[in-house]
Amino acid sequence: MARASSLLYLDGVSVSFDGFKALNDLSLTIGPGEMRAIIGPNGAGKTTMMDVITGKTRPDSGEVFFDGNIDLTGEDEASIAELGIGRKFQKPTVFESHTVWDNLELALKAPRGPFATLFHVISGAEKKRIEYLLELIRLGGKRGDLAANLSHGQKQWLEIGMLLAQDPKLLLVDEPAAGMTDAETAETAELLKDIANDHSVVVVEHDMVFVRSLGVKVTVLHEGSVLAEGSLDHVSANDRVVEVYLGR
Amino acid sequence: MMTSFLFRAMDTRAGIFLAIMAAAIILVPAGNLLAPEGSAFHVPNYAVTLMGKYLTYALLALAVDLVWGYCGILSLGHAAFFALGGYAMGMYLMRQIGTRGVYGDPNLPDFMVFLNWQELPWYWYGFDMFWFAALMVLLVPGFLAFVFGWFAFRSRVTGVYLSIITQALTYALLLAFFRNDMGFGGNNGLTDFKDILGFDIQADTTRAGLFAASGIALVLCFIVCRALTRSKLGKVLVAVRDAESRTRFLGYRVEHYKLFVWTLSAMMAGIAGALYVPQVGIINPGEFAPANSIEVVIWVAVGGRGTLVGAVLGAVLVNFAKTWFTGALPDIWLFALGGLFVFVTLFLPKGIVGTVSQGWTALRQRKASAAYESGSGDPPSAPPQSPGAPANVKHSNRAPVTAEPQPAE
């Protein structure tokens, strides 16, 4: 896919830490509205790739473009988030001493400057949006609870809710089903599919059942570069993929 | 906009605090000036000055609590901003002495005459005017904090590393102000003040006025801090304290938030210093001592971090204890202070105010469940409220803060 028509465009991205090549000439393109699953064994560079996209890590070489022509390599985390890339961490990270409601309110798309927030008064539209999200992530009854008191799965959902509150164009979701029960995993897959209707989503996941239930194009990473790409059945049939990952 | 901002500052706890402060601001000066000596209501002169001093310490503690309790920036150098505010006020008071100094020079303070200086250094210009000095009380600490914070927060220096460089900052200033060449009186600092705004600085009425001014400054800064921490900005600060990188990935520019509260806090510390100096009658480089800044952190920890009221309470209680100990048992004060800190860390990790409000919540919940079990009342639902909960989102059956402040990295 050409850069101009892509939403996210990585070309020849390399990152090394103390000589270890975490990403090695990685090239990847995500189209607008696409949902993509990324799999790969530990150390394949999945999280580093997310770090590069969200501005936490600067690539040593290569290009990262968002929305066709916005160069992400020169931006920091805050401005990349403002551009419309939301990220969910592998370990659920919510603001534990805030209530569920406040977590969502903080994530809600609104001016981010100190003076804007100092005089901010929550509007009716914002309240409605939070109510809607609470319903969506099934935490309506826990709106007043501190996030610290939520279960692991609920924290994962709250974080997904916070992602949605940001209303990003692209969601990067790192292992959304980690530590969830089978029922929760299935529900999370449904939720992500819903979200993918009007957002682009990149999901990093280990859980094959989960990836299969998403039913989307899969990219297999290995040692920092793309090993195979295609439907899950297609990549599962690849001998190299079986060797490095599935065959174990 | 402004009214909703200030409206947020108020709730029961703030109300109680403001009522106590109002009573103190009126009753202490009244007891000193109006009640005859020997009356049970008479407040002796030394007590007025002493309590005025406590109030300036309380303001300093409030400033530290704002950055430490809410934003997780453990400053071990806030005494530097306090002392700078104090020096700005001290310079004004020096210029007010005029020809009444030992050498009788109309322009030069005594120490400059003693050093054989011929003219006033340029940075002393303007300090004969009160408005200029008052402006400098805010701007000098604010500017230093802004520059320091700009570099430190942009480079993402956090946690213990930041604490260490704040110590270095105050220590560097200590050494600089000890030098006679700096033009701030060197070792001896600034003293022998005569009057402030035309009032004799030793007079009872002036002292009562300074006490009231300290009280009012504390109240105003408290309201500002309270409104700020309960606004959305306050929630962002707590978010930064608990999960800094998450806040960044939400699109908040964390360094701007830190810089904002840091600078504001330094200005408050400057005001505290400026009110402290006329009451104690001297400012010298000893105020920059690193130990002073650490002591402020202890006051805040004792009172309760991230509660604002706790910082004030801690500062007053610890300093009252210090006054008593250094009078009655001077040798063991430092042991007592160390013991107090160990005790609070081990048994009251949330400080006095944090522990009390936690106990209060538990009690209310127990009552609610008891009422529910006996068949009357609503089911117990006391959703804990986050420190920055807004006034305009209503939760049923509000409970005081129970969220545990996280350690600074």
The alpha-carbon gap from B387 to the nearest alpha carbon of chain A, in Å, equals 7
pLDDT over 90, % of chain A? 52
Nearest Cβ partner for B232 among A93, A95, A117? A117
List of chain A residues whose C-beta atoms are within 8 Å of the C-beta of residue B257? 114
Contact between B389 and A102 using a beta-carbon 8 Å cutoff: yes
Structure tokens at B187: 């070792």
CA B84 to chain centre: 14
Which positions ≥6 away from A214 have C-beta within 8 Å? A35, A37, A189, A192, A193, A203
C-alpha span between B235 and B313 (Å, rounded):
24
Q: How many CB atoms lie within 10 A of CB A150?
A: 20
Q: What is the dihedral of CA B134, B137, B142, B143, to 10 degrees?
A: 90
Residue of B nearest to A81 (CA): B251
Indicate yes or no: CB of A86 within 8 angstroms of CB of B249: yes
pLDDT score, position B340: 87
In tens, the pLDDT along B115-133 reads 999 999 999 999 999 999 9
Among B257, B386, B392, select the one facing A99 at the smallest CB separation. B386
pLDDT, residue B375, reads 64
Amino acid letter, residue B329: L
* Mean pLDDT calculated for residue range A26-46: 89
Q: Does A132 touch chain B (CB under 8 A)?
A: no
Give the strand order in the sheet containing A8-17: A20-30, A8-17, A61-66, A70-71
The two tokens of residue B339 are 């013991």
Distance from C-alpha of B348 to C-alpha of B405, rounded to nearest angstrom: 13
pLDDT at B394: 38
For helices B45-69 and B204-229, what crossing angle results, to 10°? 20
Average pLDDT taken over every residue of chain B: 88
Contact B242 A107 (CB under 8 A): no
Q: Average pLDDT for residues A117-145, to the nearest whole number?
A: 91
- pLDDT tens for residues B301-313? 999 999 999 999 9
* Partners of residue A36 on adjacent β-strands: A202, A217
Nearest CB to B243 within list A56, A93, A145? A93
Q: Closest approach of chain B CAs to the CA of A37, in angstroms?
A: 21
Give residue B358's pLDDT: 85
What's the pLDDT score for residue B1?
A: 60
For residue B256, the chain A residue with the least C-alpha distance is A114
- Which two structure tokens, joined as six digits, stand for B258? 């830190």
Phi, psi of A231 (to 5 degrees): -70, 165
Q: Kindly report the nearest CA distance between residue B289 and chain A, in angstroms.
A: 33
Q: Which residue of A has its CA nearest to B230?
A: A118
Quick one: which of B194, B215, B199, B200 has its CA closest to B48?
Answer: B215
Of the candidates B406, B5, B390, the one whose C-alpha atom is nearest the C-alpha of residue B398 is B390
As a whole number of angstroms, the longest Cα–Cα distance in chain B is 87
Could you tell me whether strands A200-204 and A170-174 are parallel, antiparallel, or unpaired per DSSP bridges?
A: parallel
* Interface mutation target, options A98, A105, A108, chain B, most CBs of B under 10 Å: A98
- Using CA coordinates, name the residue in chain B closest to A146: B384
Percentages helix, strand, coil for chain A (3-state, rounded to 5) are 40, 25, 35
A vs B: CB pairs below 8 A: 126
Rounded Cα–Cα distance for residues B132 and B125 (Å): 10
Domains of chain B in start order, with CATH, are: 13-346 (1.10.3470)
Token pair, residue B17, equals: 């605090």
Other CB atoms within a 10 A radius of the CB of residue A181 amount to 11
Contact between chains at B387 and A117 (C-beta distance less than 8 A): no
Q: A93 contacts in B (CB within 8 Å)?
A: 243, 245-246
What's the Cα-to-Cα distance from B225 to each of B34, B220, B313, B359, B388, rounded to whole Å?
Answer: 34, 9, 15, 25, 11
Q: ipTM score of the complex?
A: 0.90
Question: How is residue B194 written in tokens?
Answer: 């005569």
Q: What is the pLDDT of residue B2?
A: 66
CA distance B137 to B259: 19
CB B112 within 8 A of CB B120: yes
Q: Is the pLDDT of residue A73 over 80?
A: yes
Which DSSP string do the residues of B289-356 spell out, in sequence order? Answer: -HHHHHHHHHHHHHH-TT-SHHHHHHHHHHHHHHHHHHHH-GGGHHHHHHHHHHHHHHH-TTHHHHHH
How near does any CA of chain B get to the CA of A238, in Å? 36
Tell me which chain B residue has its CA closest to the CA of residue A92: B246
Task: Report the residue of A97, A103, A126, A160 to disrupt the B interface, i.e. the one with the largest count of B CBs within 10 Å.
Answer: A97
Distance from A244 to chain B by nearest Cα, in Å? 32
Indicate the residue of B242, B386, B393 with minimum beta-carbon distance to A122: B393
Helix (H) or strand (E) holding A64: strand A61-66
DSSP letters along B133-157, please?
HHHHHHHHHHHHHHHHHHHHHHTT-
pLDDT of A67 above 80: yes
Place of tokens 């309380």: B58
Helix axes B204-229, B254-280, angle to 10 degrees: 170
Which residue of B lies nearest to A163 if distances are taken between CA atoms? B250
Question: Cα separation of A233 and B347, whole Å?
Answer: 59
**What is the rounded CA–CA span in Å between residue B300 and residue B318?**
10
Kindly list the residues from chain B whose CB atom is less than 8 angstroms away from the CB atom of residue A107: 250
pLDDT of residue B297: 94
Residue among B365, B347, B368 at smallest CA distance from B402: B365
Q: How confident is the model at residue A239 (pLDDT cuts 50, 70, 90)?
A: confident
Structure tokens at B301: 């920890």
Which of B81, B100, B90 shows the shortest CA–CA distance to B266? Answer: B81
Residue of B nearest to A118 (CA): B233
A 157-186 residues with CB < 8 A to B:
162, 166
Q: What is the mean pLDDT of each run of 10 residues along chain B (409 residues)?
A: 72 90 94 88 91 97 97 96 97 93 89 92 94 97 98 94 96 96 92 92 93 97 95 95 93 96 98 97 95 94 93 95 90 87 88 88 81 63 44 39 43
State residue A178's pLDDT score: 81
pLDDT at A35: 93
Per-residue pLDDT tens over the stretch B384-401: 444 444 434 334 333 344
Q: Which residue has the tokens 């200005």?
A: B267
From B212's Cα to the closest Cα of chain A, the distance in A is: 29
Contacts of B67 (CB under 8 A, 6+ apart): B73, B75, B261, B262, B265
> Using CA atoms, how far apart are residues A14 and A37, in angstroms rounded to an integer?
21
Highest mean pLDDT out of A28-42, A231-245, B21-35, B258-272: B258-272
What crossing angle do the helices spanning B232-242 and B204-229 adopt, rounded to 10°? 80
- How sure is the predictor about A165, in pLDDT bands with cuts at 50, 70 and 90? very high
pLDDT (0 to 100) of residue B222: 96
State how far the Cα of B88 lies from the Cα of B131, in Å rounded to an integer.
11
Chain A partners of B235 at a C-beta cutoff of 8 Å?
A: 98, 102, 105-106, 117
Residue in chain A lying closest to B402 (CA): A97
Average pLDDT, integer, range A134-153: 90
Residues B250, A106: contact at Cβ < 8 Å? Answer: yes
Categorize the per-residue pLDDT at A247 as very low, low, confident or very high, splitting at 50, 70 and 90: low
